[in-house]
């Protein structure tokens, strides 16, 4: 097990403001000033520096004034669903009477505002299209909308390609020349900023007074903004932490959308104790399941409804879809593991630098999550492909630190024109489409590129921790303190630690989870621990000691709280 301890000593200001353990943890995340941990809305960066914002506001304000039909085109993941919901609810709250949404079915239209989707949207007779969490690559789709006399406002956060769409306005912090400092803002954060600016503009124009309506309190949408931000795994830099912290606070007070509350109730979560991780592991997968297996409209309707009874019904549908997704995913994971085991056996214990896998019966909607699982288990860039209806292969890619996946696909595309039909994404995640007969050539080309970029050390999993804890620190008050000190998430990871412990008891629960009773080596104090999804070929184990990477957590059972170690990695000694 390769462990790297985070470095950083607390500044005097941090040391004076926080518990010593917490001050050390914050310092190891680059925090020097307690102000960076103030998550009041007054610290949110203003919207003024977003390039394209005045044009977007002008188009939308005009559309509301003339009661034009605004159609929101979203994406089929959680960021897309929450972005669509924020846009729909905010526009309606500002007096727009003709607002609809359209999410492309991933199996028939694929991702984003494509030209065929614009043609299909014509049945709705839109006068303005607003893209959320997509659109920066929709050159052909925007061109088709322009031909049909439809104005397009693009709001997105994905990286821009060589050519930008000829939209009426583009708001994307990652477009060339945009001075907005927070490039990690999720799609839902971008549309929240656009709606906030639109509200300000309409208020200055006297629109709300003229219509006899109250200007909406934009904070009411922060539960959705927080959910989309966490679920999209964007780095939680300070601005994103403000959005997430504010959304969490509303949720913990029960001031969330009925659909979010219904999903949490189905998952048996206490709303008052919800953490950012619950958004990523409880809410996100249930919403994403709709887009993966069926139609994301189910998820969006769950977020939009104000009727608690309807919310419960839609939440139950999403929960059922998530169970189906888990079953499909589990089968695909097993098949992927079998393929890789055969590769290891045939190639003498060596896997290719980038793992590219395809099976004809794999489900297109689940390839992304399987790619994540493969990447996590084997610590290789992973690309999982499924066959689409048009006989092409649609792939989802997940990467490891040090290998920019979108740049890798761009390099392969530049060197092999026509090999990739289309692609897009981020450093750590991307999607692409290939002709079926191009799979082998693509796999070879990508691995040739990866061999130049990644050495063997980069393919070894390194666990970053906050060091070792003394016995006096593995206590309930410290666990409670760390739980409340977030929000933790991508790029602002929850505190983790490493250490060696004696194994007192071990058993498998829930088919593949390892439940442990450990003893702290110096004091002999007993600790409960659990490690999810262990390798059953290794555990249970005859060793009486183990090396762990773990998080300090609070376990609640029958009203009693106790310390529990959530084990991220375990190795017998």
Note whether 532 and 558 are within 8 A (CB): no
pLDDT tops 90 at residue 429: no
Name the pLDDT band for 108 (thresholds 50, 70, 90): low
Q: In this prediction, what percent of the chain has a pLDDT beyond 90?
A: 83
> What per-residue confidence (pLDDT) applies to 347?
62
Lowest mean pLDDT among 80-84, 110-114, 212-216, 224-228: 110-114
Q: Rounded CA gap, 301 and 254, in Å?
A: 19
What are 551-565's pLDDT values in tens digits?
999 998 888 899 999
**DSSP 8-state code for residue 160:** P
Q: Please classify residue 523 by burial: count the beta carbons closer than 10 Å to its beta carbon, then call 0-12 exposed, 13-18 middle and 19+ buried.
A: exposed
> What per-residue confidence (pLDDT) applies to 303?
97
Q: Rounded CA gap, 483 and 495, in Å?
A: 9
Lowest mean pLDDT among 182-191, 218-227, 270-279: 270-279
pLDDT tops 80 at residue 124: yes
pLDDT tops 90 at residue 4: yes
> What per-residue confidence (pLDDT) applies to 441?
96
The mean pLDDT value for 238-262 works out to 97
Q: Rounded CA gap, 281 and 60, in Å?
A: 35
Residue 364 CB neighbours (<10 A) = 21
Q: Rounded CA gap, 63 and 214, in Å?
A: 19
Closest of 198, 195, 193 to residue 180, by C-alpha: 193
Q: What six digits make up the tokens of 330? A: 């589990």
> What per-residue confidence (pLDDT) applies to 459?
87
> What per-residue confidence (pLDDT) applies to 107?
65
What are 496-540's pLDDT values in tens digits?
999 999 999 999 998 889 999 999 988 989 999 999 989 888 899
Q: What six digits make up the tokens of 559? A: 């009203």
Would you list the DSSP string of 321-380?
A: HHHHHHHHHHHHHHHHHHHHHHHHHHTTS---SSEEEE-TT--GGGHHHHHHHHHHHH-S
> What per-residue confidence (pLDDT) applies to 341?
87
What are 275-327's pLDDT values in tens digits?
999 999 999 999 988 888 877 899 999 999 999 999 999 999 999 999 999 99
Q: How far is CA 490 from CA 213, 231, 233, 280, 495, in A?
A: 39, 10, 6, 10, 12
> What per-residue confidence (pLDDT) applies to 389?
77
Name the pLDDT band for 350 (thresholds 50, 70, 90): confident
Q: Rounded CA gap, 165 and 167, in Å?
A: 6
Q: Please classify residue 4 by burial: count the beta carbons closer than 10 Å to its beta carbon, then call 0-12 exposed, 13-18 middle and 19+ buried.
A: exposed
Closest of 383, 350, 356 to residue 440, by C-alpha: 356
The full set of domain ranges for the chain reads 43-318, 335-459, 467-572
Q: Regarding predicted confidence, which is higher, 365 or 171?
A: 171
Q: Give, for 171, the enclosing helix (H) or strand (E).
A: strand 169-171
The mean pLDDT value for 321-339 works out to 93
Q: Rounded CA gap, 91 and 195, in Å?
A: 8
Looking at the domain covering 335-459, what would its CATH class be? alpha beta
Note whether 70 and 96 are within 8 A (CB): yes
pLDDT tops 70 at residue 29: yes
Q: Rounded CA gap, 209 and 279, in Å?
A: 37
> What per-residue confidence (pLDDT) applies to 93?
98
> What per-residue confidence (pLDDT) applies to 391?
81
> What per-residue confidence (pLDDT) applies to 510?
87
Q: Please classify residue 54 by burial: count the beta carbons closer than 10 Å to its beta carbon, then call 0-12 exposed, 13-18 middle and 19+ buried.
A: middle
Q: How far is CA 55 from CA 59, 121, 128, 156, 198, in A?
A: 6, 23, 13, 15, 11
Q: Rounded CA gap, 515 and 89, in Å?
A: 44
Say whether domain 467-572 belongs to CATH 2.40.50.460: yes
The mean pLDDT value for 140-166 works out to 95
Give 205-212's long-range contacts (Cβ < 8 A, gap of 24+): 205/61, 207/61, 207/64, 207/65, 207/94, 207/95, 208/94, 208/95, 211/95
What are 83-96's pLDDT values in tens digits?
999 999 999 999 99
Closest of 162, 155, 186 to residue 79, by C-alpha: 186
Name the pLDDT band for 455 (thresholds 50, 70, 90): confident
Whether omega before 540 lies within 30 degrees of 0, making that bond cis, reads: yes
pLDDT tops 90 at residue 159: no
Residue 26 CB neighbours (<10 A) = 24
> What per-residue confidence (pLDDT) applies to 296?
87
The CATH architecture that domain 43-318 belongs to is: Alpha-Beta Complex (3.90)
């Amino acid at each position: 097990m390769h462990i790297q301890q985070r470095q950083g000593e607390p500044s005097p200001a941090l040391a004076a403001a926080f518990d010593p353990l917490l001050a050390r943890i914050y310092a190891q995340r680059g925090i020097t000033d307690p102000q960076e941990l103030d998550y009041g809305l007054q610290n949110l960066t203003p919207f003024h520096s977003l390039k394209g914002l005045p044009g977007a506001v002008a188009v939308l304000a005009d559309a509301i004034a003339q009661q034009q039909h605004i159609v929101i085109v979203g994406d089929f993941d959680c960021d897309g669903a929450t972005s669509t919901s924020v846009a729909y609810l905010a526009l309606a709250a500002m007096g727009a009477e003709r607002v609809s949404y359209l999410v492309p079915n991933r199996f028939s239209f694929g991702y984003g505002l494509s030209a065929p989707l614009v043609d299909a949207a014509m049945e709705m007779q839109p006068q303005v299209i607003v893209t959320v969490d997509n659109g920066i690559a929709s050159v052909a789709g925007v061109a088709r909308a322009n031909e049909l006399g439809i104005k397009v406002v693009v709001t997105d956060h994905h990286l821009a390609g060589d050519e930008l769409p000829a939209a009426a306005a583009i708001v994307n912090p990652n477009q060339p020349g945009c001075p907005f400092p927070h490039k990690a803002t999720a799609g839902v954060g971008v549309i929240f900023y656009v709606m906030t600016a639109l509200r300000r503009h309409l208020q200055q124009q006297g629109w709300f007074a003229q219509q006899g309506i109250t200007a909406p309190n934009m904070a009411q949408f922060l539960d959705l903004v927080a959910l989309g931000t966490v679920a999209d795994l964007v780095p939680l830099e300070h601005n994103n932490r403000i959005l997430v912290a504010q959304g969490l606070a509303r949720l913990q007070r029960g001031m969330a959308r009925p659909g979010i509350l219904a999903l949490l109730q189905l998952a048996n979560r206490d709303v008052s104790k919800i953490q950012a991780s619950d958004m990523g592991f409880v809410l996100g997968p249930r919403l994403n399941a709709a887009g993966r297996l069926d139609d994301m409209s189910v998820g969006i309707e769950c977020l939009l409804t104000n009727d608690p009874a309807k919310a419960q019904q839609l939440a139950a549908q999403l929960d059922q879809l998530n169970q189906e997704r888990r079953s499909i995913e589990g089968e695909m994971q097993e098949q992927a593991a079998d393929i890789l085991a055969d590769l290891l056996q045939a190639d003498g214990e060596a896997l290719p630098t980038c793992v590219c896998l395809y099976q004809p019966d794999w489900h297109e909607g689940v390839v992304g999550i399987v790619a994540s699982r493969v990447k996590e288990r084997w610590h290789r860039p992973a690309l999982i492909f499924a066959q689409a209806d048009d006989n092409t292969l649609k792939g989802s890619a997940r990467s490891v630190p040090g290998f920019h996946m979108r740049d890798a696909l761009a390099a392969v595309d530049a060197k092999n024109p026509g090999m990739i039909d289309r692609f897009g994404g981020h450093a750590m995640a991307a999607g692409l489409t290939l002709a079926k007969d191009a799979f082998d050539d693509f796999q070879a080309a990508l691995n040739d590129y990866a061999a130049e970029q990644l050495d063997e050390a980069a393919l070894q999993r390194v666990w970053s921790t906050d060091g070792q804890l003394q016995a006096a620190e593995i206590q309930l008050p410290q666990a409670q303190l760390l739980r409340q000190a977030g929000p933790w998430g991508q790029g602002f990871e929850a505190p983790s630690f490493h250490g060696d412990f004696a194994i007192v008891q071990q058993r498998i629960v829930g088919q593949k989870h390892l439940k442990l009773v450990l003893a702290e080596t110096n004091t002999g104090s007993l600790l409960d621990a659990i490690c999810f999804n262990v390798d059953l070929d290794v555990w249970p184990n005859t060793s009486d000691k183990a090396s762990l990477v773990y998080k300090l957590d609070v376990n609640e059972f029958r009203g009693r709280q106790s310390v529990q170690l959530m084990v991220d990695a375990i190795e017998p000694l």
